[in-house]
Amino acid sequence: MKNNDVEQVDKEQLIPNQEIENKKSDFDNNTSQNPNETHQQEDTEKKEEKRFLSNKKFKKFDKARYREQKCREWEIKIVNQNMKDDKLGLYIHIPFCDRKCDYCDFVSYSMDENAQHDFQQALFKEIDMYRTQCEKMVFNSIYIGGGTPSVMYEGFIYELARKVYSTFHFEGDIEFTIEVNPNSVTYDKLLEYLRAGVNRVSVGVQCIDSKILKNVGRFQTIENIDNTFDLLKKMGFINTSADVMIGLPNQSLDAVKDTINYLIDKNVKHISVYTLQLEENTPLYKNVKMGKIKPLGDEACIKMYNTVTKMLKENGFIRYEVSNFAIPTYESRHNFKYWKDVDYLGLGVSAHSFLENYRFSNTCRLDEYIDMLNNGQFPIVNKEFIRDSERRTEYIMLSLRLATGLNLEKFRKRFKEDLLKTRAKQIHDLIKNGYLYIEDGFLKIAPQHFYVSNRIILELL
Amino acid sequence: MNRQDRIRNFCIVAHIDHGKSTLADRFIEITNTVDKRDMNSQLLDSMDIERERGITIKLTPTTMKYNYNGEEYTLNLIDTPGHVDFSYEVSRSLMACEGAILVVDASQGVQAQTLANVYLAFDAKLEIIPVINKVDLPSANPEKVIKEIEDIIGIPADDAPLISAKTGLNIESVLKKVVETIPPPKGDENAPLKALVFDSYYDSYKGAVSMVRIVDGKVRAGDQIKFMQTGKSFEVTEVGIFNPKNSECEQLQAGDVGYICASIKNVSDTKVGDTITLVNNPTAQPLEGFKEALPMVFSGIFPLDGSKYEELKDALEKLQLNDASLHFEKETSAALGHGFRCGFLGLLHMEITNERLEREFGLDLITTAPSVEYKIKEINKSPYLISNPSFMPNPQAIEEIEEPIVKMEIITPPEYLGNIMDLCSERRGEYKNMQYLDENRTKLNYIMPLNEIVYDFFDKIKSLSKGYASMDYELCGYKPSDLVKMDILLNGEVCDALSIIVHRSKAYKRGKALCEKLKEVIPRHLFEIPIQAVIGGKVIARETISAVRKDVLAKCYGGDVTRKRKLLEKQKEGKKRMRKLGSVELPSEAFISILKIDD
């Protein structure tokens, strides 16, 4: 979306739902130069697949094989698409929540209208400060995360989008994601997002059993979630994502299965599955230490993860990263940038950036963030030049998390190191024991061992 | 009054923690030897480790001036270690003195080390001044302690000064007593030089420095001296006294305590206990030296990073310069590569040496379980000693194994007798006798195998008695015993560095505990790891470390790659600190885990 589009969006009036949906489907085909063409192609493919799968002559085994093969094809497609992407991503962190969940150690403050306005002013100042520096840079994704962006006062996201469009350069289609919380989503807000150009919504579902969530200090009901997905459907948001947590205290395997089935039923296109992690300095950590809450054991988590993987695979999802699953073409373009050699700019409290070989991050404190910007300073508190040795570690760590794996040739060129030689023994042992495999010049973690990827990555550093 | 009449050479002996070093500090303060502003507590404990742990390891002499009845006296004080491991240092310093201050804690009374040290002082025919310290404590009972000293040690103590080294109470009266009771040295200044080397240390500028007590004659810079035992001669470059830092003086004469530098490159040339005399006017008869301190505890020390072997060698050589009791020789382990087998006086000595190597030389080390020295008799061969379990021959070839045994003396309040006696018999102790010292104290005598006390016996005694019991031991010979070598197999492979020699009756329990401990300290791998304890091919204990099934799956939050990378880098660092044995990675603490076993 270019700057001159803003006017147009602005003028858009409320249109019948059906029309929005038609319009939105264009937004979704964000990975190709010619959306219409891809759309048609996709349709024929789908029809063909349907025909194939409904043919009773084929046994279950063949169908599974067919799916497998399709997945491979998609994987290769993804690689090609995302390898080419060299445009920047823009991340904006909204540090507000209704209430912080007990397990959360991300930066967020409780809601307070005044604080939100102060934050807005500071954020806009920060955006202005990057105007010159980013003059020559081209962006193609926006991600508004948090915290809970949907708790911001009405009109905030729209203003923010206008500010962003008028400051940074975008080219081609944009992937514009916003994270929302089922509690704070309203019709008006979604409409505002639509007008702002948002075309991807990530819903913090976590688990559909409200009792389990209540236990870890997250208050949301199935009615909230239902309502959110109903609204999203009505408003024509097709590219939807959901965050799911596994390994929550008292969570049963059935609760996880129910959640996944629910999301499949709601036609969600992208699912991120995170295992609960006990972070120090969180209420949950304290509760566990005091024995009030018993965390789930490793075996239960593994079972959940494997079950989720299997269910999603059966329903056409591809695991393109350790914890991210998507219906092909619905992979998150923005997240890919974190895993690839692509720059991104992070704005807002505690946001992280990677620009021109520097990684830097903003202050974690809202008051400090506002003060620094009021004094005309960048709110940066950490800045580190990423030398090749560090970049190498990052490269291995990030690329192996992806299903597509590590491009050995690219690695060799980039770091003047042939991993197959420098880590010959480790790779040999890992391949021998089935943890790694090499395919078409890519080093990959075997899918069944994704859950221990850290260990495997460690061997290669 | 001649020069020597105004000299007093004395040391302070006491049980650990009874306040020797604090008392020494007060003396230095009162005599204005050190400026007030330079005073920092435990002045004579110059090593960081000494100050931190509140213990004295090295003996340190100091020279003070004290006015008594209008005369200026020179008081040479030698502070001594109180821990059982270092009693040999005590006996050496006693030889340089005519008297000793015996410090006894007013609430704790006579303890095992008090006795051990006071007997050493008796042997050296020293005049003993008992002093009751810590009388300011609410639990102090000086009358009782005085009675104890008279009853148990058998020296009059009714006029013993009641002091508090901490608050400075009555310190002066101790100094007065030193002048009044301790006899002055009676050397002959005009006789040929006869100086006793009671310690030595290495100074990177001056070379090996000998700490000496001049018995007869005099010595000054430029003199040609000769070490009578080694036969080597050197030219003196500097002589001086300790006040308490080295300060050069013109000459040292009979009765003095001081140091001699002679550009000596090897500390081994300044053997402790040797006699120094002049080359052109030698004395006929050397002084009686000391018995060399024998190491009792042995362990392997390996650099974590195999390439640092030379650095470790260098560091050990440097430490040995100041610590003649440290022994080491090359050792090669299949699991740990090249390193050294080191001999120590005791476990504390081992711990301190390790700490110094890591701190002062910046080395990362792996230390194997401590062992004692066993006497192996093979069929048709003459007996030999081994301190390394991996050198133990096949059981079939062994006719007999003997292990070192010690005479153990424990003093404890009677309420803990039961516990302590249980511990001793569990540690294969052979009860000798028991003696009631008074209503609050009992002395136990045992004969025990040394290998049962090297690990944690001292700590155990302390915890069983809430800190009240004390112990002392001395080596008294070898005794045949039913010992076996126990190997540890990790994932089916023997790890030689984990092998131990153990009494057959304890092998099962020890093996089980060791396997359990290893299971705790070895991180989980991608595969399952069996840990087995094996004696002569027979598995006696087994544990299994299950494979890792899950590791971090955290959200890559808003592009915070740094946090993840740092975490990985930290884990990688941790991995570097591991030793790879076959396919298993062992953290360095695995090798001393045997020390931490509770049996």
B556 and A456 in contact by Cβ < 8 A?
Answer: no
A461 and B568 in contact by Cβ < 8 A?
Answer: yes
Interchain contact A420–B (C-beta under 8 A): no
A274: enclosing H helix or E strand: strand A270-275
Domain ends where: A342, A359, A386? A386
- Taking each helix axis from N to C end, the angle separating A453-460 and A388-401, rounded to the nearest 10 degrees, works out to 150
Query: Smallest Cα–Cα separation from B545: which of B561, B533, B570, B528?
Result: B528
Distance CA A352, CA A343 (A): 11
- Residue A255 inside a domain? The answer is yes
Interchain contact A364–B (C-beta under 8 A): no
- Residue A324 inside a domain? The answer is yes
More confident residue, A11 or A270: A270
The least confident of A182-191, A329-338, B62-71, B74-83 is B74-83
Residue A12 is predicted with a pLDDT of 40
Tell me the per-residue pLDDT of A107-133, one tens digit each, with 9 for 90 and over.
777 767 888 999 999 999 999 999 998
> Is there a contact between B58 and B35 (Cβ–Cβ < 8 Å)?
no
Q: Which of A339, A384, A393 sits opposite B569 (nearest CB)?
A: A393
Distance CA A278, CA A300 (A): 16
Tell which A residues from 263 to 292 touch B, by Cβ distance under 8 Å: 272, 274-275, 277
B interface with A, Cβ–Cβ < 8 A, is 525-527, 548-562, 564-565, 568-569, 571-572, 575, 583
Report how many domains make up chain A: 2
The hierarchical CATH code for the domain B377-481 is 3.30.70.240
Average pLDDT across chain A, whole number: 83
Residue A16 is predicted with a pLDDT of 39
- A98, A105, A283 from A286: Cα distances, Å: 21, 13, 5
Interface-testing mutation among B553, B572, B573, with chain A (most A C-beta atoms within 10 A): B553
Which chain A residues contact residue B548 at CB under 8 A? 452, 455
pLDDT above 70 (res A23): no
CA-CA-CA-CA torsion for B99, B103, B109, B114, nearest 10 degrees?
Answer: -50
Query: One digit per residue, pLDDT tens: chain B, 599 residues?
Result: 788 999 999 998 888 778 888 888 888 888 887 766 666 655 556 566 666 665 666 667 889 999 988 899 999 998 777 666 676 667 777 888 999 999 999 988 888 878 878 888 888 889 999 999 999 999 999 999 999 898 888 889 888 999 998 898 999 999 999 999 999 999 999 999 999 988 888 888 888 889 999 999 999 999 999 999 888 999 999 999 988 788 899 999 999 999 999 998 877 788 778 899 999 999 988 888 776 677 888 999 999 888 899 999 989 988 887 777 888 999 988 888 899 999 998 888 888 888 889 888 888 888 888 889 999 998 888 899 998 888 888 888 888 999 999 999 998 888 999 999 999 999 999 999 999 887 778 899 999 999 888 877 888 888 888 877 888 888 889 999 999 999 999 998 888 888 889 999 989 988 998 899 889 888 888 888 999 999 988 999 999 998 887 776 555 566 788 888 888 888 888 887 788 777 888 887 788 766 666 55
pLDDT above 60 (res A5): no
> Is there a contact between B198 and B276 (Cβ–Cβ < 8 Å)?
no
CA-CA-CA-CA torsion for A329, A331, A332, A334, nearest 10 degrees?
Answer: -80
The hierarchical CATH code for the domain B485-596 is 3.30.70.2570
Which chain A residues contact residue B565 at CB under 8 A? 390, 393-394, 397
Residue of A nearest to B523 (CA): A455
- Residue A400 inside a domain? The answer is no
A455 and B583 in contact by Cβ < 8 A?
Answer: no
Amino acid identity of residue A11, one-letter, is K
- Residue A398 inside a domain? The answer is no
Query: Smallest Cα–Cα separation from B238: which of B208, B198, B267?
Result: B208
Q: Does the domain made of B3-181 have the CATH classification 1.10.3720.10? A: no
Distance from CA of B561 to the nearest CA of A (A): 8
What is the residue extent of each domain of chain B?
3-181, 194-278, 297-367, 377-481, 485-596
B526 and A455 in contact by Cβ < 8 A?
Answer: yes
Residue A65 is predicted with a pLDDT of 63
Q: Which of A302, A337, A394 sits opposite B565 (nearest CB)?
A: A394
Which chain B residues contact residue A93 at CB under 8 A? 558
Provide the phi-psi class of B104: left if phi over 0, else alpha when psi is between -120 and 50, else beta: beta
A81: CB partners within 8 A, 6+ apart: A31
Same structural domain for residues A350 and A423? no
Same structural domain for residues A271 and A312? yes
Interchain contact A393–B (C-beta under 8 A): yes
Tell which A residues from 40 to 59 touch B, by Cβ distance under 8 Å: none
pLDDT above 90 (res A180): yes
Q: Which of B527, B565, B571 sits opposite A390 (nearest CB)?
A: B565
Interchain contact A141–B (C-beta under 8 A): no
pLDDT confidence band for A1 (50 / 70 / 90): very low
DSSP assignment letter at B373: P
Residue A25 is predicted with a pLDDT of 41
CB-neighbour burial class of residue A68 (10 A; exposed 0-12, middle 13-18, buried 19+): exposed
Distance from CA of B334 to the nearest CA of A (A): 20
Average pLDDT over residues A16-31: 41
Residue of B nearest to A459 (CA): B572
> Is there a contact between B268 and B200 (Cβ–Cβ < 8 Å)?
no
pLDDT above 80 (res A83): no
Same structural domain for residues A346 and A440? no
Report the CATH number at residue A192: 3.80.30.20
Q: Where are the alpha helices (DSSP H) in A315-448?
A: 333-339, 366-374, 388-401, 408-415, 419-422, 424-432
Which chain B residues contact residue A337 at CB under 8 A? 559
Residue of B nearest to A335 (CA): B559
Residue A18 is predicted with a pLDDT of 42
Residue A34 is predicted with a pLDDT of 41
Residue B57 is predicted with a pLDDT of 61
Same structural domain for residues A165 and A211? yes
A398 and B561 in contact by Cβ < 8 A?
Answer: yes
Average pLDDT over residues A33-52: 57
Same CATH fold, B377-481 and B297-367? yes
- Residue A5 inside a domain? The answer is yes
Q: Which CATH number fits domain B194-278: 2.60.40.1180, 1.20.140.10, 2.40.30.10, 2.60.40.1930?
A: 2.40.30.10
CA atoms within 13 A on the CB side of A244: 31
Q: Can you tell me whether residue A336 is helix, strand or coil?
A: helix
Bridge pairing between strands B218-220 and B224-227: unpaired
A302 and B553 in contact by Cβ < 8 A?
Answer: no
Which chain A residues contact residue B527 at CB under 8 A? 433
A451 and B559 in contact by Cβ < 8 A?
Answer: no
Residue A438 is predicted with a pLDDT of 93
Residue A4 is predicted with a pLDDT of 42
Residue B128 is predicted with a pLDDT of 93
The three-state (H, E, C) secondary structure of B559-579, written as one string: HCHHHHHHHHHHHHHHHHCEE
Interface-testing mutation among A206, A274, A338, with chain B (most B C-beta atoms within 10 A): A338
CATH architecture observed for domain B297-367: 2-Layer Sandwich (3.30)
Interchain contact A301–B (C-beta under 8 A): yes
Interchain contact A128–B (C-beta under 8 A): no
> Is there a contact between B515 and B535 (Cβ–Cβ < 8 Å)?
no
- Residue A397 inside a domain? The answer is no
The residue behind tokens 């264009």 is A26
pTM score > 0.95 for this model? no
A264: CB partners within 8 A, 6+ apart: A311, A312, A315
Interface-testing mutation among A455, A457, A460, with chain B (most B C-beta atoms within 10 A): A455
A274 and B575 in contact by Cβ < 8 A?
Answer: no
Which chain B residues contact residue A435 at CB under 8 A? 526
- Full domain range(s) for residue A450: 405-460
pLDDT confidence band for A226 (50 / 70 / 90): very high
Same structural domain for residues A356 and A445? no
Distance from CA of B564 to the nearest CA of A (A): 9
Interchain contact A148–B (C-beta under 8 A): no
Distance from CA of A11 to the nearest CA of B (A): 32
Domain ends where: A353, A386, A419? A386
Residue A14 is predicted with a pLDDT of 36
Distance from CA of A45 to the nearest CA of B (A): 33
- Residue A392 inside a domain? The answer is no
Number of neighbouring beta carbons within 10 Å of residue B208: 22
pLDDT above 70 (res A227): yes
Q: Which of A338, A346, A353 sits opposite B556 (nearest CB)?
A: A338
One-character DSSP codes across B258-317: EEEEEEE--GGGS-TT-EEEESSS--SSPPP--PPPPP-EEEEEEESSGGGHHHHHHHHH
Which chain A residues contact residue B561 at CB under 8 A? 338, 352, 354, 359, 394, 398
> Is there a contact between B340 and B403 (Cβ–Cβ < 8 Å)?
no
Distance CA A157, CA A15 (A): 20
